[in-house]
Structure 1
Amino acid sequence: MLRALDIRDILIIDHLELGFQPGLNVLTGETGAGKSILLDSLGFVLGWRGRAELVRQGAEQGEVVAEFDLPEEHPARAVLEEAGLPAGEELILRRVNTRDGRKTAWVNDRRCSGEVLRQLSDTLVELHGQHDDRGLLNPRGHRDLLDAYGGLEAQRAKVRAGWRNMAEARKALDKAQAALEEVRAEEEFLRHAVGELDTLDPQPGEDEALDARRRLMQQAEKIREDIARAQAALGLDGAEGAAGDALRWLEGVADRAEGQLDEPIAAIGRAMVELDEAAQGVTQCLEGLTFNPLELEECEERLFAIRAMARKHGVMPDELGAFAEGLRGKLAALDQGDADLKALEGALQEAEAAYEAAAGDLSAARAKAAKALDKAVMEELAPLKMERAVFSTVMEEAEPGPEGRDAVTFTVATNPGAPAGPLNKIASGGELSRFLLALKVCLTGTDSGLTMIFDEIDRGVGGATADAVGRRLRQLAEGGQVLVVTHSPQVAAQGAHHWRVEKKVVEEQTLSTVTPLPDSDRVDEIARMLSGDTITQEARAAAQALMG
C-alpha cells in the first residue's frame, strides 16, 4: 500500500509531499493542472519508462521518493531477497534524475538498478487506463490472469514440471543419438584398432623392460671378454686359488707362530667367502650374456611394434593398455547403443504423455475458469449500464510450452450480434473504461497488496453510469487501496480521501500543487466539477447529495 509520495523539481512541481490512505483516494482538477505529472512521478520512481525530460526548468536534478507498507507475506520481499536488498515493515524507493539525464535509484538506502525497481513495481502498483499496456489491455498477460482467477497455480506447476521432464528426456535422447552416430562413424577404425591392440597385447612396463634387455644384448659382445677375464682372475687359477694356497701354508705353520697368525688366517677366510660371492655373481652375469642370436632381433621387433603402435594412436607406450580399454568401451557402447536408445525413446514417450495429460487437464480447468470469469464479468457489466455488451474469454490452441498449450484473449462485443474483438480494439473510451473496471472487480481477489491506479477510467461516461463506476471503484477499494484520477463528480463523490490538483503561477513560474480536501472543501470541488467555475447553491446541494 502506497503511504507517501515526495516529489521535488519534477516538470512543473517544485515540492510536493502527499500522504495516501487505504480505501478510495480521488485526485481531481482542471485539465492540464498536473494530475498526469503525479502519475509520471510515481512511474519514474517505480522504474517505468516514460518522459525523457523530467527535471524542472532551472533545477539541477529532480527527485521522487515513494514509501510503501510491506507486510510479512508481501511478494515484494522475494524480489528484495533475490536482489540482496534489506526488507523491513516499510519499503522506501528513491530515484534521482539529473539535468544531463543520468538516473540513480535506491531501495531502502541501497543503490539498485532500474530493472529491480520495475520488478518491485509489478508487486506494488497496477495501473489501469485507456493507454495501459502493462495490465489488462495486454493480451500476453491474459492467460496468467485467468489462471490466477481460477486458482490454477498447482496445475500450472505440474505442467511446467512435465515440460521440464520432457525437455530433459529429449536432451538425453539427442545426446545419446549424437554419441552413437559419432561412434558408428568410426566403427571400422575401432574394430581394426582393437584387433591390432588385442594381437599385440602390450603390457604395462613392457617397453622399459624390452629397451633394457635390448641394450644389454647390444652391449654383450663388447663386455663379455672383460667379464670372462675377471671370472678367471677370481677363480681357482686366480685370486681364489692364491688365497687358498696362502691359507693352507699359514695354517700349516700356525701352531709354531705362537698365535700371531690367527688373525691373518681369519681375515683370509673371510676374504675367500667374499671372493666366492663375487665369482658367483660374475659367473651369473656371464651366463646371462649368453643368448640366442635371434633373441635380439625378436626383442627389437617387439619393442619397435609397441612404439609404432603408440605413435599411431598418439599415446605413450605404457598407455596403450588403457587406450585399448577405452576403445573397447566405445565398441561396447556401440553394441549396446540400440538398446539404450530404445530405453531413452521410451522415457521420452512417457514424459510426453505425462506432459500432454497435465496440459490437457490444465486446458480443461482453464475452460471452466473462463466460463466462470465470463459470467462474473457479465454480472458486473449490468450495474455499469452495459447489460447488452458481451465479454468472452477466448481460448485457442497455441504452441506447447511450459505454461501449457493455450492462448487466452479477453474479447468484447459492445452489442449483441456485433463482432467480438480485443478489448482495446473494439470498445470506445467510455466502454473500455467500464470493461476494465468490471474485469478488475472480478480479478481483484487474486491481488496481494497491490495499489491500483485508475487514470481517468471514467472518461466518456456520466450520470447514472458514472455513479455506478464510482460505486464499483469504492467496492474495489474496500480492504485495499485505489487511486483514481477523475473528471467525474459522481466518481469523486465516492472517494474516502480527496486531493485537488491545481496549477498556479508563482514569481512568473507555473507550478502544480496538490491540496488535501476536508469534507467542506470536497463539497465545493465536486460542485465545481458539476457546474464549472461559478459554484451555485444548487451545485453545492447536488454535490452533497452525491456524497450521501
Structure 2
Amino acid sequence: MLTALSIRDVLLIEALDLELGEGLTVLTGETGAGKSILLDSLGLALGARADSGLVRAGAGRAMVSATFSVPSGHALNALLRDHEIDLENGEVVLRRAVRADGGSRAWINDQPAAAGLLRDVGALLVEVHGQHDERGLLDARGHRALLDTFGRHEEELRATSRAYEFWKVSVAELEAARTEIADADRDREYLDHAIAELEALQPEPGEEAALAEERAGMLAGQRVAEDLTAISEELSGADGGAARLRAAARRLGRIAESHALLDASLQALDRALLETDEAEAKLAAAGEALAFDEARLDAVETRLFDLRGLARKHRVEADRLSELLSQFLERRTRIERGSEQLASLEQAVKAAATAYDTAAAILSQKRTAAAERLDAAVAAELAPLKLDAARFQTAISPLPQGERGAVGADRVAFEISTNPGADFGPLVKIASGGELSRFILALKVALAGQAEAGTMIFDEIDRGVGGATASAIGARLARLAEDAQVLTVTHSPQVAARGAHHLHIEKRVQNGATRTNVAPLPGTARTEEIARMLSGTAVTDEARAQAARLLG
C-alpha cells in the first residue's frame, strides 16, 4: 500500500508531501489543475521513463519519493533479496531524481538501483488503469495467469509443471542415447579391431613398471658378466689369489711357533682368508642375481614395446590399457543392446508425454470451468456500467505442440464484443476509450482479490458517463477498495462521494508563479467540492444539499 508521496520540483509542483490511507482515495479538481502531474510524478518513482522536461522551470532537478508498506509474504520480498536489498520494518521507499540537463538516478531504500529494477518493483506494488493504458489486464500474455489465480488452479499447475519437467528429462535421455548409439555405431569396426588388439595383449595394471625393472636388471647383468668371470678366476681359480693365500697360511703354520711375530702374521692371514671367503660368496650371489636369459630378455623387451606402442596409439598410460579394454567392451555391449535400450526409452517418453497430456487436460478442464464463472461474473457487471449490449468471453484455445510447456497447453485471452452480432476481439482493439476503462473496471471487480499489487490507480475511468453509470462505477471502486488501496482521479461527484479519503488538486498563482497544490478535504470543504462538481462554477444550495445526500 502507498503510504506517502513526496514531490519536489516537478512541473507546477514545487513541494508536496502527501500521506495516504487504506480504502478508496479520490482525487478531484478542475480541468488543468494538475492531476496528471501527480500521476506522472508517481510514475517516475515507479520506474517510468525519465524526462528532463518534468523538472520545474528554474530548478536543477526533480525528486520524487514513494513509500509503501509491504506484507511479509509479498513477492517483492524475494525480488529485493535477490538484489541484496532489505525491507526496513516492512517498508520500501522508491526514490527517483531527474536532472534538468538530462539523466536520472534511482534508489530503493536508499540503495542505488537501476531504472529497470525500479520498474519491476513498481509493477509488483501498483497497477495503473486508464483509457490508454495497454498494460496489465490489456496484455494478453498475463490473461492465463489471471484465470489460473481466479480459478485457484495451484495444485493442477504444480502437477502439470512436474509432468512437463519429467517429460522433458525423458526426451533428453532418449536423444542422448540415440546420439551415443549413432556415434558408437559409426565406430563399430574400430571398436572390434581395438578390442581384438587389447584382448590379444591382455595388459595388466602395473605390468609395465614390473617389466621395466626386470629388463633393467638383466641389462645390468649383461654389462658386468665378463668382469665377474674374470674377477672370479683371479680370486678363486687354481692359481688365484685365494689359493695362494691358503698355501702361504699352511707353510706359515708350520713355523709360527718359532717366533711371536710369525704367530701374529699367521693370525692376520687367517683374517684375510675369512674376508676372502666372504668376498667369494658375495661374488657368487651377485653372479646369480645378475644372471639373465637372452630369450627372457627378448621376451620382456617385446612385451614392453607392445604395451607402450598400444598405449601411445590410444593416448593413455600403459597401466590404463586394461581399463580401456573394459570401456570398449561396455561400449560395444551398449551398441549390441541399443535397440532394446532405445525401445525402453521411447516407451518412457510416450508414458511421460501421456502423463503430461493428462495433467494438462485436467488443467484445461479447470480453466474452462473457471472461464465460465469469470464470464458470468463480468457479465453481471456490464449492465450497471452502461455496457448492456457488450459481451465478454474468456477464449481458451489449444497451443501448438511445440509451444506447450510447464503452464499447460492452453492459450487464454480476454475478448469482448461491444455490439450485437459483432465478432469478439481483444479488449484494446475493440473497445473505445470510455468502454475500455469500464471493461477494465468490470474485470477488476470480477477478479477482486487476485492481484499481487496492493495499490490500484484508475485515471478518469468515469469520463463520459454520469448519473446511474457513474454511481455504479463509484460502487465498484469502493468494492475493490475493500481488498486493496484504490486511488482514482475523477470528475464524477457520484464517484467522489464514495471515497474514504478525498484529495483536492488546485492550481494557484503565487508571486507571479503558477503552482499546483494537493490537500485533503475535511467534511465541510468536501461537501462544497462535490457541490461544485454537481453544479459547476456557481455552487447552489440545491447542489450542496445533493452533495450532502451523496455523501450520506
Global fold match (TM > 0.5): yes
* Structural mapping, 1:53-452, within 5 Å: 53-87=53-87, 88-207=89-208, 223-237=224-238, 238-252=240-254, 260=264, 263-264=267-268, 267-284=271-288, 288-289=291-292, 291-292=294-295, 298=299, 300-398=301-399, 399-448=403-452, 450-452=454-456
Q: CA RMSD in A?
A: 2.7
CA distance in 2, matches of 1:221, 1:148: 91
CA distance in 2, matches of 1:291, 1:145: 90
Quote the offset at 1:136 in angstroms: 1.1
SS in 2 for 1:446: coil
| 1:246–1:380 distance in 2 versus 1, CA, 3 Å | farther
More divergent stretch after superposition (39-48 vs 235-244): 235-244
Q: Counterpart of 1:42?
A: 42
Quote the offset at 1:396 in angstroms: 0.8
Is contact 1:236-1:242 (8 Å) kept?
A: no
Aligned residues: 545
Is contact 2:50-2:98 (8 Å) kept?
A: no
Q: Percent identity?
A: 45
1:207-253 deviations in whole A, cap 9, x for unaligned? Answer: 55656666777787765433321121121432332343344445555
CA distance in 1, matches of 2:386, 2:193: 86
1:34-90 deviations in whole A, cap 9, x for unaligned? Answer: 211211111211113465643222222211111112233333222222222112232
Quote the offset at 1:20 in angstroms: 0.9
Q: Counterpart of 2:31?
A: 31
Amino acid in the other structure paired with 1:125:
V
1:255-302 deviations in whole A, cap 9, x for unaligned? Answer: 66667468526523531331232231354267x25535xx66555544
Amino acid in the other structure paired with 2:82:
E
| 1:156–1:208 distance in 2 versus 1, CA, 3 Å | closer
Amino acid in the other structure paired with 1:535:
V
| 1:156–1:282 distance in 2 versus 1, CA, 3 Å | closer
CA distance in 2, matches of 1:470, 1:497: 13
Is 1:490 the equivalent of 2:494? yes
SS in 1 for 2:30: coil
| 1:72–1:215 distance in 2 versus 1, CA, 3 Å | closer
CA distance in 2, matches of 1:371, 1:537: 49
CA distance in 1, matches of 2:228, 2:101: 98
Is contact 1:240-1:275 (8 Å) kept?
A: no
CA distance in 1, matches of 2:306, 2:540: 116
More divergent stretch after superposition (335-344 vs 351-360): 335-344
SS in 1 for 2:294: coil
TM-score by length of 2: 0.91
| 1:401–1:267 distance in 2 versus 1, CA, 3 Å | same
Is contact 2:134-2:428 (8 Å) kept?
A: no
Is contact 1:243-1:272 (8 Å) kept?
A: no
Q: Counterpart of 2:514?
A: 510
Quote the offset at 1:325 in angstroms: 3.2
In structure 1, the gaps of 5 or more residues are: none
Is contact 2:391-2:418 (8 Å) kept?
A: yes
Is contact 1:163-1:402 (8 Å) kept?
A: yes
Is contact 1:40-1:50 (8 Å) kept?
A: no
CA distance in 2, matches of 1:198, 1:102: 75
CA distance in 2, matches of 1:372, 1:384: 19
More divergent stretch after superposition (400-409 vs 44-53): 44-53
Is contact 2:6-2:64 (8 Å) kept?
A: yes
CA distance in 2, matches of 1:221, 1:541: 130
Is contact 2:493-2:530 (8 Å) kept?
A: yes
CA distance in 2, matches of 1:354, 1:257: 117
| 1:223–1:463 distance in 2 versus 1, CA, 3 Å | same
Quote the offset at 1:407 in angstroms: 0.9
Is contact 2:232-2:280 (8 Å) kept?
A: no
| 1:81–1:282 distance in 2 versus 1, CA, 3 Å | closer
CA distance in 1, matches of 2:75, 2:297: 84
Amino acid in the other structure paired with 1:82:
D
Is contact 1:250-1:265 (8 Å) kept?
A: no
Amino acid in the other structure paired with 1:241:
A
CA distance in 2, matches of 1:337, 1:52: 68
Is contact 1:429-1:460 (8 Å) kept?
A: no
CA distance in 2, matches of 1:118, 1:507: 38
CA distance in 1, matches of 2:198, 2:115: 64
More divergent stretch after superposition (166-175 vs 532-541): 532-541
SS in 1 for 2:137: coil
CA distance in 2, matches of 1:20, 1:219: 100
1:155-214 deviations in whole A, cap 9, x for unaligned? Answer: 112211211111122112212221222211211111111111222334445555656666
| 1:313–1:10 distance in 2 versus 1, CA, 3 Å | same
| 1:219–1:153 distance in 2 versus 1, CA, 3 Å | closer
CA distance in 2, matches of 1:290, 1:446: 93
TM-score by length of 1: 0.91
Is contact 1:251-1:265 (8 Å) kept?
A: no
